[in-house]
Amino acid sequence: MRFLENFPLAAFNTFGIRAKARYFAAPASEDELARLLRSVTARNLPLMVLGGGSNVIFGGDFAGLVIHPDMRGIQCLGETAEHYLIEAAAGEKWHDFVQYTLARNWFGLENLSLIPGTVGASPIQNIGAYGVEVTDRLHSLTAIEIATGCRHEFTHAQCRFGYRDSVFKQELRDRFIISRVRFRLLKTPAPRIDYGDIRQELVARHIDSPTPRQVSDAVIAIRSRKLPSPDVLGNAGSFFKNPVVGRAQLESLKADWPALVSYPQGEGAKLAAGWLIEQAGWKGRRIGPVGSYEKQALVLVNHGGATGGDVVCVAQAIQQAVRERFGVELEMEPQVYGGN
Ligand code: FAD
Ligand code: NAP
């Protein structure tokens, strides 16, 4: 397998940061990936896995090997009375996969339309949108252990999914490369439209009982209006997770801020991070090339030529502003690589 050297990463991260990888390889099969891992672990190279680069920030050049899983393929492995078991390879583009399933009447992923990135990354932070998360549909997955090149199977339970979280961001962080993901998709449509702006969009289209295709179209339309396309304005989607607070903190915040936007979550509540940032005066504001997006404060954008340092500087300024105003900590969603 060929290593590319001093590989430019600007086209491999949606924030559009110009960084380089010392080495870059794109294995197209599990065997190729396993062989690659066995050959590099002995060399002690720093290693990172890069899918579509839509949830990473490059703090600078990456002085090791970037592995870009490039396995392809989607297949139906079987069916029950209610479900199809569908397997997709890690390198498939997530949105294309969602559209492929809908075209074959395999339902359940429609709310997750137009999320950038790859199938292989989708379990990492348990991607979610409009009330549906990957955990709702994932059956199991296959991953290759970085230290050994050996193949492992993970059941749904072993992935330990949480809100924008999984075991692969916690105990097993940087230990496995996901190569294939299996989903249990529905034979009978069960549209979920009571979240965000979906119902409103369907009403505007005069649709009462939407098909999954119509839900997908509505989601695509809302997202296209509201979110900046990375092809036009570099970004990594929501830059911070919505913070979850306990009941006591929620009550105290609500006393001071009656308009606070929150949703019940476990014993406490999830706060809308975009609202906190807007109230802290950051919506549409920028420092140099990086700013908060004018239509959605939670998204940071690259107005051109941003470095990883510029991004971190703005992120920290926003975290400080929200901390000072509300006493709430915002945690970054994208992972930062390179630069040290
Ligand atoms: P990358 O950014 O390349 O990687 C993300 C992390 O996963 C890194 O730590 C990387 O090392 C690891 N990783 C990637 N592939 C693998 C693999 N095969 N095995 C092991 N580790 C791997 N997210 C949501 O949850 N919901 C949304 O609605 C949403 N909307 C977005 C909208 C925009 C405009 C953008 C830019 C981003 C959005 N995101 C959203 C974030 C992002 O698209 C998802 O997190 C996506 O799953 C990242 O996929 P990726 O292939 O680009 O991963
Ligand atoms: P939105 O619909 O304006 O809603 C703002 C926030 O309120 C969202 O963060 C969402 O939480 C929450 N919310 C809305 N309705 C809710 C409900 N019925 N129950 C519980 N929580 C509710 O958000 P948006 O920015 O346009 O995004 C729409 C969807 O796409 C959201 O689900 C969002 O997570 C997802 N998205 C994610 C990213 C990313 O990078 N992670 C980027 C763009 C969009 P949740 O975020 O928990 O859903």
Amino acid 323: pLDDT: 98
339 pLDDT exceeds 90?
Answer: no
User: Which tokens in the block code for residue 111?
Assistant: 């709310």
Ligand 1 atom index nearest CA of 90: 18
Mean pLDDT of the chain: 96
CA 178/CA 169 separation, integer angstroms: 12
Instruction: Give the number of other CB atoms < 10 A from CB of residue 196.
Output: 16
Cβ–Cβ < 8 Å for 340, 60: yes
One-letter amino acid at 8 equals P
Q: How far apart are CA 63 and CA 102, in angstroms?
A: 41
User: Is pLDDT above 80 for 255?
Assistant: yes
- 238 catalytically annotated: yes
Residues with Cβ within 8 Å of residue 300, at least 6 apart in sequence: 235, 236, 239, 290, 291, 292, 293, 311, 314, 315
| Beta bridge partner(s), residue 64 | none
Label residue 147 by pLDDT band (50, 70, 90).
very high
At 322, is the secondary structure helix, strand, or coil?
A: helix
Q: Is the pLDDT of residue 325 over 80?
A: yes
pLDDT band at 252 (very low <50, low <70, confident <90, very high): very high
The reported pLDDT for the residue numbered 2 is 82
Question: What's the average model confidence in pLDDT over 207-223?
Answer: 97
- Span of 79-88, 260-269, 287-296 with lowest mean pLDDT: 260-269
Q: Please state, in angstroms and rounded to a whole number, the distance separating the CA atoms of residues 287 and 320.
A: 14
pLDDT (tens digit, 9 = 90+) per residue, 122-139? 999 999 999 999 999 999
Sign of CA dihedral 264, 296, 219, 92: negative
CA of 233 to the centre of ligand 2 (A): 20
Mean local confidence (pLDDT), 129-157: 97
- Among residues 30, 122, 137, 164, the one annotated as catalytic is 164
Mutate to test the pocket of ligand 1, among 24, 49, 113, 333 (most ligand atoms within 8 A of CB): 49
Is the confidence at residue 340, as pLDDT, over 80?
Answer: no
Give the pLDDT of residue 158.
98
Contact 142, 153 (CB under 8 A): yes
Please name the residue whose Cα sits nearest to atom 13 of ligand 2. 196
pLDDT at 20 over 80: yes
CA-closest candidate to residue 57, choices 16, 118, 114: 16
pLDDT of residue 65: 96
At residue 44 the predicted structure's pLDDT band, cuts being 50, 70 and 90, is confident
Q: Evaluate whether 309 touches 202 at the Cβ level (below 8 Å).
A: no
Which ligand lies nearest the alpha carbon of 200?
2
Which residue, among 228, 237, 223, 205, has the nearest Cα to 110 in the 3D structure? 223
Q: Which has the higher per-residue pLDDT, 265 or 298?
A: 298
Report which of 243, 196, 240 is spatially closest to residue 221, judged by C-alpha positions.
Answer: 196
Residue nearest to atom 15 of ligand 2 (CA): 196
pLDDT in tens, 227-236: 999 999 999 9
pLDDT at 338 over 80: yes
Contact between 36 and 1 under an 8 Å Cβ cutoff? The reply is yes
- Quick check: 20 and 6 in contact, CB under 8 A? yes
The whole-number pLDDT of residue 263 equals 95
Q: What is the pLDDT of residue 1?
A: 76
Q: Which structural domains are found in the chain, ordered by start?
A: 4-67 (3.30.43.10), 74-186 (3.30.465.10), 234-337 (3.90.78.10)
